């Protein structure tokens, strides 16, 4: 919710994303799921939802410390859009 704060994203869309991730995890049959796997699922969902929310979440999830961390990450976004 922090990642989408003050973004034009409806709360019900976020709830649907969360429910979808939960269903995927439950249907996988795995008893233990790593936080890395959950984080990647959230990143994937946010990337399609809102680019700013995606970068916000990534900055915490990937533990950005400096401006160059943001620059590198945003650079990967630019190349993905162009490619």
Our count of domains for the chain comes to: 1
pTM for this predicted structure? 0.74
> Do the domain assignments include residue 5?
no
Per the model's pLDDT, the better-predicted residue between 27 and 60 turns out to be: 27
> Do the domain assignments include residue 4?
no
Mean pLDDT of the chain: 86
Neighbours of 54 (CB within 10 A): 21
> Do the domain assignments include residue 1?
no
> Do the domain assignments include residue 65?
yes
> Do the domain assignments include residue 38?
yes
> Do the domain assignments include residue 78?
yes
Residue-range definition of the domain harbouring residue 53: 11-82
Calculate what percentage of the chain has a pLDDT beyond 70. Answer: 93
The span from the CA of 35 to the CA of 7, in Å, is 25
> Do the domain assignments include residue 35?
yes
> Do the domain assignments include residue 6?
no
């Amino acid at each position: 919710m922090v990642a989408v704060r003050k973004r034009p994203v409806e709360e019900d869309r976020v709830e649907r994303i969360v429910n979808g991730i939960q269903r995927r995890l439950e249907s996988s049959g795995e008893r233990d799921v790593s936080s890395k796997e959950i984080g990647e699922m959230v990143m994937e969902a946010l990337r399609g939802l809102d680019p700013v929310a995606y970068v916000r979440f990534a900055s915490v999830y990937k533990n950005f410390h400096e401006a160059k961390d943001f620059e590198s990450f945003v650079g990967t976004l630019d190349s993905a859009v162009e490619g």
